């Protein structure tokens, strides 16, 4: 029995669970907000907040500890350079869980795990959203075909001689049950 045992197993072995926590915390730091199940969000929230606390400390040992957990130097750099300074005056509570309802496929309760700094989250979402592409239609003009676009007539009308000969010879020697030459 698991009486008074802390932590969630999430149906994974310990290595898989550790990788899941690392990836979710890294995605949260990188994007500012992630969409996941409520159970996973509750499980990864303490790890993400600990990473931000390490970023607030800012020393070499904290950077090495964050790198050993997150396993990505780019994410750690973003944590120490951009995310942690946003929370330098905040004593804790860097993330929040916003429930968004059940998932359509399996009815799992879904939630956003996001940083509490709305400006940073909005900036990251805007950076990821592609700009709409405006296609300008050019007016069609009647132009004479240039010599570059014209295909020589000899290439257009000439059939493949090798394929036609191969098909004829195959039909002549066919004495199978589906032959049209012989009545059954």
Q: Does residue 173 register a pLDDT over 80? A: no
Residue 140: predicted pLDDT: 72
Higher pLDDT, 102 or 140: 102
CB-count burial class (<10 Å; 0-12, 13-18, 19+) for 7: exposed
Give the tokens for residue 23.
């990836």
Q: How confident is the model over 26-42, as pLDDT tens digits? A: 999 999 999 999 999 99
Angle at 153 between CA 152 and CA 154, to 5 degrees: 95
Render the chain in DSSP notation, one character per residue.
--TT--S--TTS-HHHHHHHHHHHHHHHHHHSEEEEEHHHHHHHHHHHHHHHHHHHH-SHHHHHHHHHHH--HHHHHHIIIIIHHHTTT--S--EEEEEEEE-TTT--EEEEEEES-HHHHHHHHHHHSPPPPPPPPPPP---PPPTTTPPPHHHHH---HHHHHHHHHHHHT--STT-SSS--
Q: Tens of pLDDT along 54-94?
A: 999 999 999 999 999 999 999 999 999 999 999 999 999 99
Q: Where are the domains of the chain?
A: 14-128
Q: What is the pLDDT of residue 43?
A: 96
pLDDT for 124 equals 85
Q: 26 is written with which tokens? A: 């890294």
Domain with residues 14-128, CATH architecture? Alpha-Beta Complex (3.90)
Report whether pLDDT(162) > 80: no
């Amino acid at each position: 029995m698991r009486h008074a045992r802390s932590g969630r197993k999430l149906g994974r072995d310990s290595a898989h669970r550790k990788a899941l926590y690392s990836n979710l915390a890294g995605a949260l730091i990188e994007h500012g907000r992630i969409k996941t199940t409520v159970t996973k969000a509750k499980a990864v929230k303490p790890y993400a907040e600990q990473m931000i606390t390490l970023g607030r400390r800012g020393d070499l040992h904290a950077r090495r500890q964050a790198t050993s957990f997150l396993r990505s130097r780019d994410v750690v750099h973003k944590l120490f350079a951009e995310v942690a300074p946003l929370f330098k005056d905040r004593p804790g509570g860097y993330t929040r869980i916003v429930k968004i309802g059940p998932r359509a496929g399996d009815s799992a309760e879904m939630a956003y795990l996001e940083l509490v700094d709305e400006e940073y989250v909005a900036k990251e979402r805007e950076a990821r959203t592609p700009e709409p592409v405006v296609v300008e239609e050019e007016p069609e003009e009647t132009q004479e075909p240039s010599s570059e676009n014209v295909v020589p007539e000899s290439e257009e009308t000439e059939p493949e001689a090798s394929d036609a000969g191969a098909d004829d010879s195959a039909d002549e020697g066919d004495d199978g049950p589906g032959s049209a030459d012989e009545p059954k």
